[in-house]
Amino acid sequence: AEGARAFAIGLKPLDPARWLEPDERLAAELALKDRLARERPAVVFQAEAVTQDAQAEVLSLVVDHLLADHPGLVARAVETLRVPGIGRAVALADGSPPLAVAGRLVQDDLVLMRRGAGGWRLAAASLSFPSHWSLAEKMSLPMAAIHAPVPGFAGQMATRVDRVFDNLRPGIPVWRLNWSLQDDAEPHHPAPKRGPKDWSRPHVRVERQTLRALPRSGDILFTIRVRLDPLDALATHPDGRRLAALLREDLLRLDADQLAYKGLADAREGIAARLAALAT
């Protein structure tokens, strides 16, 4: 909507009071997180043993933010955080990993990055809504290896991202948005993109990502908030024509490697035609 190009870093300063943004999908998405944690615990949570203190720091930060900046949403009762509007209560000290507890309080996925000899690595994560990547393949890897499949990441962009991480300061979070298109409404996609897809009802997937330096541990918390909507919702959006035109421009601008990475090589022309119709 603001003209940012695909595959750009595009970070902007973020008001700490707007760090996390619970919305009307809170109950459904937290219920889905609970189900995935029961059915696929090793898929949605992993952590290095040395991250326990940093995980506790994240949990404290999340609880303090919800109480201070979303006071009508939550209430604290001893070691429990209640969300009265959706009939939810989360024990804050039940023996579960603190990052997993924090993940049960918010719609965002929470990824803890730690600096080491090999650069910034993925040290812990509560990850319920990945887009075709898994903790099993990325855990403990440095940034360059995590983003190896991303076209154009190696080299200058990798250096810029490392510099951004190195220069983050506590209390000054930043954020960005990205977009992709998928053939269903399922937010949980840990498997790689494979096989034919049915693009009869494409969805727009937008990730609101934030980066926040942790003052005690020195780690960085990367949050990922997923929003999924049918492409056809642009037909009733008040700014839908302009958005459809901009999305079509971005889609047509992608080169072969970028199309393959987004899984859109066979779908681009059909989706571009639908966007052209939505833009008129």
* pLDDT tens digits, 237-255: 999 999 999 999 999 999 9
Instruction: Give the chain's largest Cα–Cα span.
Output: 56
Mean of the pLDDT values across residues 19-32? 97
* Mean pLDDT of the region 171-182: 94
Q: Write down the pTM of the prediction.
A: 0.95
Tell me what the mean pLDDT of segment 3-9 comes to: 63
Extended beta strands in 75-173, E state: 75-77, 80-83, 88-91, 109-116, 119-126
Whether residue 130 is predicted with pLDDT greater than 90 in this model: the reply is: yes
Average pLDDT, the chain: 95
pLDDT at site 142 = 95
pLDDT given at position 191: 92
Q: Which of 252, 247, 225, 135 is nearest to 180 (CA)?
A: 247
Instruction: Provide the H-helix boundaries in the chain.
Output: 26-39, 41-44, 52-69, 98-103, 135-138, 143-146, 158-167, 240-253, 256-262, 268-278
Q: Which pLDDT does position 196 carry in this prediction?
A: 84
* Dihedral angle computed from the Cα positions of residues 39, 43, 45 and 46, in that order, rounded to the nearest 10 degrees: 140
Tell me: the pLDDT tens digits for 89-103?
Answer: 999 999 999 999 999
Q: Which residues pair with 181 in a beta bridge?
A: 204
User: Is the distance from CB of 100 to CB of 37 less than 8 angstroms?
Assistant: yes
Whether pLDDT at 2 is above 80: no
What mean pLDDT do residues 156-170 have? 93
Binning pLDDT at 50, 70 and 90, where does residue 156 land? confident
